[in-house]
């Protein structure tokens, strides 16, 4: 493809690819020179040109010599638009999910529901890329825009027509989710997280809202979990833009949750749809927030043409999502052991609340907090665990470059009666050993992750595998 075809100019240079890392520039590359939190890509423009960049996307006023300067006040957005033209075509139906919790489960449930309806579907998020034939490739919640768009284009070449992807606050702020026509966007909830990056809750919410104010197609649909305190903000924005609305939850209009009761391996739901019809379904997943995620996923499917009755009925066939209230093992005592990705105060509270009705005895929670991340939530995480669980063990999560003892101390301030066992394997083993036949063990924080980040090293560690090994010991 010629450069002029992308920029609208007369340039005849052949474009071979895109890069935001100057070390990945090859002849024919368009280089994105962006200001970052730690590195300024503008400092590497000359290196990129020497490596063969034919164009550089950067702010106005930045010096670019030896290549075409694509100047824009928001270079990340301009870069994404050019990359989208280069990598297209994409799947015909694309939906995005944002919110503090539930994004991963919702996109994966959406993929499953589409597949049940006969669509060739895939999902992209924290678990990676899950394709139509169930293959999973590990990745970030929202990859860089080059990786994202090239992956999406690859899915289209494989025949994928329906794609659900996570839109994180970081990704939305950094324009990593641009380039696709998003026909439906979903909001799950908002609670404290990532304030180390955004600064305050107002900026965090603003980042999330960009999905609805700029990314969602003007003719698209906003799908909203109506029970969240910030739902009204999303609903008002959608109405102001003229988007169609699909609301779900106990306050929802499209799918109203009338009744929910726990069962041995899941929960029974009574749902009333927008036409007044009542649906009864056995959801094979434990916990109120799992029901919320399932209903948001159903809303996305309905928003993109799915039949209401069939979609709701298919909720009974949903499979658990990796690391999301995943039953990892059964202790020798008979106590079930669950692993969950919960790493915020409200997520820990929701996970405990999900399991409590199923515990005849105690709920034993293993908690930790990640290093180099919002320290203000740690004490609150300990408080929630101490208030809701019967027994709390504080351990290490991903300490990264922080002193793990200091991270644990912050958690212990919120849960002064908790046991402190820094070694994560030892903490998991202790929880499982002391669990009685009527107890439930909940291991929070890492979910699906396959490693523990200590300093600049990633050490192999999978909570599910470790739980099974400890249960068998």
Q: Which residues are annotated as a binding site for ATP?
A: 99-105
Using an 8 Å Cβ cutoff, are 351 and 325 in contact?
yes
- Between CA 163 and CA 311 the distance in angstroms is 17
- Between CA 211 and CA 97 the distance in angstroms is 9
Neighbours of 115 (CB within 10 A): 18
The two counts, helices (H) then strands (E), for the chain are 16, 23
Which pairing describes strands 29-32 and 55-58: parallel, antiparallel, or unpaired? parallel
The helix-helix angle for 288-303 and 103-116 (nearest 10°) equals 50
Neighbours of 158 (CB within 10 A): 13
Using an 8 Å Cβ cutoff, are 398 and 391 in contact?
no
Structure tokens at 456: 């600049």
- Between CA 42 and CA 62 the distance in angstroms is 8
Query: What values do phi and psi take at 79, rounded to 5?
Result: -60, -45
**Residue spans of alpha helices (H) in 166-306:** 169-173, 195-198, 201-210, 231-241, 288-303
Residues contacting 185, CB < 8 A, separation 6+: 95, 96, 97, 98, 167, 211, 212, 215, 216, 220, 221, 222, 223
- Between CA 123 and CA 109 the distance in angstroms is 9
| 56 alpha carbon, distance to own chain's centre | 31
What does each C-alpha distance from 103 to 4, 75, 96, 294, 385 come to in angstroms?
A: 38, 27, 9, 11, 22
**Residue spans of alpha helices (H) in 121-181:** 145-157, 169-173
Largest CA distance in the chain: 74
Using an 8 Å Cβ cutoff, are 450 and 398 in contact?
no
Q: What is the CA radius of gyration of the chain?
A: 23
Structure tokens at 156: 């289209």
The binding site for meso-2,6-diaminopimelate consists of: 373, 397-400, 445, 449
Using an 8 Å Cβ cutoff, are 7 and 32 in contact?
no
The binding site consists of: 99-105, 141-142, 168, 174, 176, 373, 397-400, 445, 449
């Amino acid at each position: 493809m010629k450069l002029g075809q992308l920029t609208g100019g007369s340039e005849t240079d052949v474009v071979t690819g895109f890069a935001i890392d100057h070390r990945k520039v090859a002849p024919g590359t368009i280089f994105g020179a962006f200001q970052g939190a730690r590195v300024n890509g503008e400092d590497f423009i000359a290196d990129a040109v020497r490596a063969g960049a034919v164009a550089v996307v950067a702010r106005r006023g930045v010096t670019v010599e030896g290549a075409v300067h694509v100047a824009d006040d928001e270079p990340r957005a301009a870069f994404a638009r050019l990359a989208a033209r280069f990598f297209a075509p994409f799947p015909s139906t694309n939906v995005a999910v944002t919110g503090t919790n539930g994004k991963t489960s919702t996109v994966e449930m959406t993929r499953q529901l589409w597949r049940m309806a006969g669509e060739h579907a895939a999902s992209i998020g924290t678990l990676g890329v899950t394709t139509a034939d169930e293959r999973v490739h590990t990745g970030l919640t929202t990859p860089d825009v080059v990786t994202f768009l090239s992956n999406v284009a690859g899915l289209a070449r494989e025949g994928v027509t329906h794609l659900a992807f996570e839109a994180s606050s970081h990704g939305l702020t950094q324009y990593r989710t641009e380039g696709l026509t998003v026909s439906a966007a979903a909001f799950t909830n908002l609670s404290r997280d990532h304030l180390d990056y955004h600064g305050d809750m107002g900026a965090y919410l603003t980042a999330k809202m960009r999905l609805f104010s700029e990314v969602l197609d003007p003719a698209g649909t906003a799908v909203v979990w109506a029970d969240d305190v910030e739902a009204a903000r999303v609903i008002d924005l959608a109405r102001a833009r003229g988007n169609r609305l699909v609301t779900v939850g106990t306050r929802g209009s499209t799918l109203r949750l009338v009744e929910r009761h726990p069962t041995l391996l899941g929960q029974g739901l009574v749902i009333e749809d927008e036409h007044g019809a009542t649906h009864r379904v056995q959801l094979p997943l434990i916990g109120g927030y799992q029901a919320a995620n399932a209903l948001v996923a159903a809303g996305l499917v309905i928003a993109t043409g799915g039949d209401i009755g069939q979609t709701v009925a298919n909720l009974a066939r949903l499979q658990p999502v990796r690391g999301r209230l995943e039953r990892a093992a059964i202790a020798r005592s008979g106590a079930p052991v669950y692993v969950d990705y919960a790493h915020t105060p409200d997520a820990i509270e929701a996970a405990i609340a999900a399991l409590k009705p199923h515990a005849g005895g105690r709920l034993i929670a293993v908690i930790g907090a990640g290093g180099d991340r919002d320290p203000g939530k740690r004490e609150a995480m300990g408080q929630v665990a101490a208030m809701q669980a019967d027994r709390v063990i504080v351990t290490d999560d991903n300490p990264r470059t922080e002193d793990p003892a200091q991270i644990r101390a912050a958690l212990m301030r919120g849960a002064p009666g908790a046991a402190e066992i820094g070694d994560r394997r030892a903490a998991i083993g202790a929880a499982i050993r002391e669990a009685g036949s009527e107890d439930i063990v909940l291991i929070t924080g890492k979910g699906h992750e396959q490693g523990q980040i200590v300093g600049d090293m990633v050490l192999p560690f999978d909570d599910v595998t470790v739980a099974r090994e400890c249960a068998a010991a």
